[in-house]
Amino acid sequence: MARLAPGALFALALIAHAAVLAPRAAAQGSDYAPGLNAICALGRDQDEGCAAIRARETAESQRAPWSAIGRLNHAGHRVYGHCTATLISDRVVLTAAHCLWDPTTNRWIAPARFTFLAGYHGGDYIAASPAIAVIFPPEIEQDAGATAYRVNPRHDWALLTLRDPIGRQAGHIPLFPGFLRSTPDRATRMPGYAGLRPHHLTVARDCGPTLIASGVLLTQCSAMQGDSGAPLVLEQDGQHFVLGPLSVVTTTNPPWRSVFAPFFKIRKAANAAIAEAG
């Protein structure tokens, strides 16, 4: 079985001080290093990485299925920014867990500080709602009171319940309900609000095949800060499904670049959150 090699992992939440992850980080977990700024998330290959981001096409973010994707804006203690998130039901959005971590205070940001803007485009959006509750993976929940957070892509997901059922207006993209070991080339895409174009949803079509290894999803999607939480979207038989949220990028596992938390780790909690949200 293929494994994710230890090496440089970069988290992609876009926050005011552009905190990313130190190159010494291992695959098992990584510490934030606010002083390091990996532009376009490819370290020394910055020019190539930025070109790949600029080459992403602009999505029709106010039309299905992309209308279910939006900006997750947040404000913490002396820090603000955004991630990407996806409505997987009328009131539940999926994003990366590290988007909820404030490295300036070493605390989790309260759900009430987040607002989800569905179908966001250039200042306009289809619908918006504040969050009122969050569900973390059990592996994170037990450390919720800790003063340090280590990003582990296997468990880097969070489910936010919104106050309002805006999925009735914007639509939603369900979590993949089945089983798979890999996906063929060009079967998946990743839409996100990359830092180079934070007010426009752009789609990475360079994801290549998806490999499941070491409990994560590995792809070749071009990604950078702001894309954290972006969904890996599978189109199958005319339907769209979310395979998982973007966690980190890696520079040491070619040709794989982007690492996603997997749907099969999220499914049980998602079903419970959707049922409770109504």
- The pLDDT of residue 99: 94
Per-residue pLDDT, averaged over 84-101, amounts to 96
Cβ pair 212, 223 in contact under 8 A: no
Beta bridge partners of 192: 202
pTM: 0.85
Q: Given phi > 0 = left and psi -120 to 50 = alpha, else beta, which region is 187?
A: alpha
Whether residue 112 has pLDDT greater than 80: yes
d(CA 213, CA 233): 18
Q: Give the model confidence (pLDDT) of 115-145 as tens digits.
A: 999 999 999 999 999 999 999 999 886 555 5
Q: Pick from 44, 245, 45: which is nearest to 160 by CA?
A: 245
In this structure, of 33-37, 74-78, 161-165, the range with the lowest mean pLDDT score is 33-37
Residue range 237-278, pLDDT digits in tens = 999 999 999 999 887 778 888 999 999 999 999 999 999 998
For the chain, domains (ranges, CATH) are 9-60+174-262 (2.40.10), 66-173+268-277 (2.40.10.10)
Query: Could you give the angle at the alpha carbon of 248 between the alpha carbons of 245 and 253, nearest 5°?
Result: 120
- Residue 268 exposure: Cα atoms within 13 Å on the Cβ side: 5
Element spanning 236, H or E: strand 231-236
Helix (H), strand (E) counts: the chain: 4, 21
* DSSP 8-state secondary structure symbol assigned to residue 174: P
pLDDT of residue 228 exceeding 70, the answer is yes
Q: Is 230 helix (H, G, I), strand (E, B) or coil?
A: coil
